Structure 1
Amino acid sequence: MTTTSKKQDPFFILGNPRSGTSLLRLMLNSHPEIVVPPECGFLLWLSDKYAYQSSYDEHTYSNFVDDLFKTKKIETWSIQKEKLLGKIKAAKPKDYTSMTSIVYSHYAMENEKKPRLHGDKNNYYINEIDKIEKLFPQAKLIYIVRDGRDVAASYLKIKNSQISSQYKPTLPQSIENIASDWSKSTLKAQTMQKQPNTCVILYEHLVRDPERTLSTVCTHLNVDYSDNMLQFYNNNDEPVDFLQWKAKTKHPVDTSSLGSYKKELSQKQILSFEQHAHEALKAFNYL
């Protein structure tokens, strides 16, 4: 049994959509001691039903696995239901953290990894910090922040793209709403960055100096830096459907998207965003 099948709080990758959370996930998932599966929110979705039970038995395990395989996107992990259930029954976990850790451990073994740490990435988690900290009090958080104007440009590009995937992200459509959502999550990152369980990085730093930025993240997670993380594109496990809007993750990191808003947004849109998100832009020296 791997370490990740024992009781161990995961770490969480947090950030606004289109801020580099998938890139960071892939980089960390390429580390030999870390596994971070593709996005799937079962960890919180199922917690209300299973996290606070007084006892865990085979009936609980069976119900949990049944519910797990009904959650959106779990199918992208390509794991077998009966095989996973067998591993949970054999391990006999006695709490929610241990039970869910086996899911990550099983995913890792199916992908020929024996990690020391497991992480979870989902953009909606940024609005669930209180719940995360209650469920997983030892969890470490990694926020990634990107210039909101580039985020807005990326949102609008997706809006105007022909994406057939059932998983196409639902994003705010107006500059004002994008600015409001981005400001809320970014100011939350600013508030939490002084807490010892939290590491805040900038997307711009990650793509300009990935080695130094990833070294900071590894220090936060108490693992050694690995050059394997820079080869993330060779280990890209993003589901094919996701690649319709995450195609850049198939290639080495580059800086071509930095400041793209200057070409892709009108001056009116830029000014509007800056007016609605002035505080958050200033907080991270984007203004």
Structure 2
Amino acid sequence: MPYEKRIIIGGLPRSGSTLLRFMLDAASTIISGPETAFFTQPLFQQQATIARLAQRLADKLNICPERLTEAVITAPTSCQAYDSISDLMGENAGISKPCWAEKSPRNCFSYHRLHAENPNFYFISTIRHGLDVVTSVVKNHPNNANQYWCPIQRYVDTMLAIYSFKSPRHLIVKYEDMVTSPQKTMNQIFAFLGLKYEDHIIQSFRQPASTRDLTKVHQPKLKQEISSDWINRWKALQHSERVNEFMQHSKAVYWLEHSGYELPQRSYT
């Protein structure tokens, strides 16, 4: 089907992109299925590894790999390939929506290429206080349990990618705004997209759907009410060594300030 709007979501890891995806998908106008990383590689590369790609997407999206293969192999652009993938997701869910959004944090490294392919894409980048990002621990992840999720260098590289992409169709959203003022922030996002905001999404995003499965995203907080308690966790004493490491990285400190966050009060040397 022809889509009215196509939204690419990228940004820092642990910065609320999954929360954003769930809330967008809860709207009547946007389908936003599980993270695919489809746009992190150019189309020719996805086509060259189609067997592996199709099986990976089939496992994530519960769609026949043969149909996914056809969607990708026959498409002349990444955009058109994902149009077809979104069609299959909608068919599988028994829904039809005029817009799609694909969320993969590493999408931000492909913004320039994607904008060149289709200047009508909308881009949303999620960011967060850098110290909360690099001290975030995934307790129940099968491969990285109880370890820091984001290297400091990834924080630096991601912030450079986000802030070097200049476009009136690029919106930077702070995690802190999403969890302290979710309704206001989502209103702003929908206004940016030129879509009508629906009040119910702040609550209904937790309701099960074929495109939203809380058991598969390693985000236990999403089962709870959105809370401002989710911020400033870097201040816990257990993270002092990690905070010190961050504060000694000049580029990390630069991006923390550049993005509007205050530095810690104590000095780190």
TM-score, normalised via structure 1 length: 0.76
| Equivalences for residues 88-127 of structure 1 within 5 A | 96-127=78-109
| Equivalences for residues 73-222 of structure 1 within 5 A | 73-81=57-65, 96-154=78-136, 157-158=137-138, 161=139, 163-164=141-142, 168=143, 178-192=151-165, 195-222=167-194
Q: Match of 2:98, as an amino acid?
A: R
Structure 2: distance between partners of 1:50 and 1:19 = 27
The corresponding residue for 1:281 is 256
Q: Secondary structure of the residue that 2:126 maps to in structure 1? A: strand
Structure 1, residues 171-206: CA drift from partner, whole Å, max 9, x if none?
A: x969xx8222212222432333x5201011100001
Q: Match of 1:33, as an amino acid?
A: T
The CA deviation at 1:150 is 0.8
Residue 47 of structure 1 is aligned with which of 43, 47, 52? 43
Structure 2: distance between partners of 1:38 and 1:204 = 23
CA contact (8 A) 1:15 1:185 kept: yes
CA contact (8 A) 1:233 1:252 kept: no
Q: Match of 2:244, as an amino acid?
A: L
Structure 2: distance between partners of 1:205 and 1:95 = 34
**Structure 2: tracts of 5 or more residues without a match:** 263-269
Q: Secondary structure of the residue that 1:10 maps to in structure 2? A: strand
The corresponding residue for 2:229 is 256
- Return closer, same or farther for 1:203/1:11 CA change in 2, 3 Å cut-off: same
Q: Match of 1:119, as an amino acid?
A: A
RMSD: 3.2
The corresponding residue for 2:10 is 14
**Structure 1: tracts of 5 or more residues without a match:** 52-62
Structure 2: distance between partners of 1:34 and 1:280 = 32
The corresponding residue for 1:56 is none
- Percent of pairs with identical residues: 19
The corresponding residue for 2:265 is none
Q: Secondary structure of the residue that 1:201 maps to in structure 2? A: strand
Structure 2: distance between partners of 1:232 and 1:185 = 27
The CA deviation at 1:21 is 0.7
Structure 1, residues 209-240: CA drift from partner, whole Å, max 9, x if none?
A: 11111111111211111123212112461363
**Alignment length (residue pairs):** 256
